[in-house]
Amino acid sequence: MASQLRLRSALALVTGAGSGIGRAISMRLAKEGAVVAACDLDGAAAQNTVQLLGGSGSEAGAPRGKHAAFQADVSQAPAARRLLDQVQACFSRPPSVVVSCAGITRDKFLLHMSEEDWDRVIAVNLKGTFLVTQAAAQALVSSGSRGSIINISSIIGKVGNIGQANYASSKAGVIGLTQTAARELGRHGIRCNSVLPGFITTPMTQKMPEKVKDKVTAMIPLGHLGDPEDVADVVAFLASEDSGYITGASVEVSGGLFL
């Protein structure tokens, strides 16, 4: 997609910004003019993303250029609250674009899935998205600012997947959470949408056996896995005023998989 400057005055918080889709989203939003607060559990990875954006801070939360990196575990309520406090302290305003992209998989057949594997995936993917959405919305409402919240779900949240009862449930939950947030926050000028990627080439899908990847590829109408930039294109649109009348939507970026 051609580069535009639709996000010139935006401050964008991206979680999971240290890798894959979150890094591509950070780069795309910055390219469109946004100042990016890049957050990851892996603080060094978030720093690397900031360096790729062209503004570097060597200490967490310290913007040397205009972007800054933050370390946080979004599954922990105090950490999520602290993250929003740190971002606001750093930039003197709440983020007007918030992208929850932090996510994990811990695959096992339902018959063998441990309670721990269930709990951890729900804690990061669903509770983490709730905590960041809530803290960001509270900050926006109390400052009277408009915003766009974008939560990264998955096509698997719509159709399920063998070995991913925990992941599919978490991503289905993200869709429900986002639709509810859209209903509650519309009156405050805050839009909330979710994006449902199909299979995208990132470290997460590199773990998939080649045999499974080939099988999946054969089912994709467009004939190939997606790139992180394909997801970033859609996130940039949802972040911008080009989608000003869209809220509560779930946008599939799957090459037509599971139509």
Ligand X SMILES: NC(=O)c1ccc[n+]([C@@H]2O[C@H](COP(=O)([O-])OP(=O)(O)OC[C@H]3O[C@@H](n4cnc5c(N)ncnc54)[C@H](O)[C@@H]3O)[C@@H](O)[C@H]2O)c1
**Taken in order 214, 220, 221, 224, is the CA torsion positive or negative?**
negative
Alpha-carbon distance of 259 to 246, in angstroms, equals 21
The number of beta carbons lying within 10 Å of the beta carbon of residue 258 is 16
Told to check if 152 binds ligand X by CB under 6 A, we report yes
Alpha-carbon distance of 62 to 91, in angstroms, equals 10
Told to check if 40 binds ligand X by CB under 6 A, we report yes
Choose, by CB under 6 A, the member of 95, 103, 173, 255 that binds ligand X: 103
Residues 55-74 that bind ligand X (CB under 6 A): 72-74
Choose, by CB under 6 A, the member of 18, 43, 94, 173 that binds ligand X: 18
**98: closest CA among 174, 197, 192, 187?**
192
Q: Return the number of the residue (141 or 208) whose C-beta is nearest ligand X.
A: 208
Residues 122-151 that bind ligand X (CB under 6 A): 124, 128
Query: Which residues does residue 15 pair with via DSSP β-bridges, in sequence order?
Result: 39
Alpha-carbon distance of 57 to 64, in angstroms, equals 5
Q: Return the number of the residue (31 or 188) whose C-beta is nearest ligand X.
A: 31
Told to check if 154 binds ligand X by CB under 6 A, we report yes
Told to check if 43 binds ligand X by CB under 6 A, we report no
Q: Give me the residues that bind ligand X (CB under 6 A), please.
A: 15-16, 18-22, 40-42, 45, 72-75, 101-104, 124, 128, 152, 154, 197, 199-200, 202-205
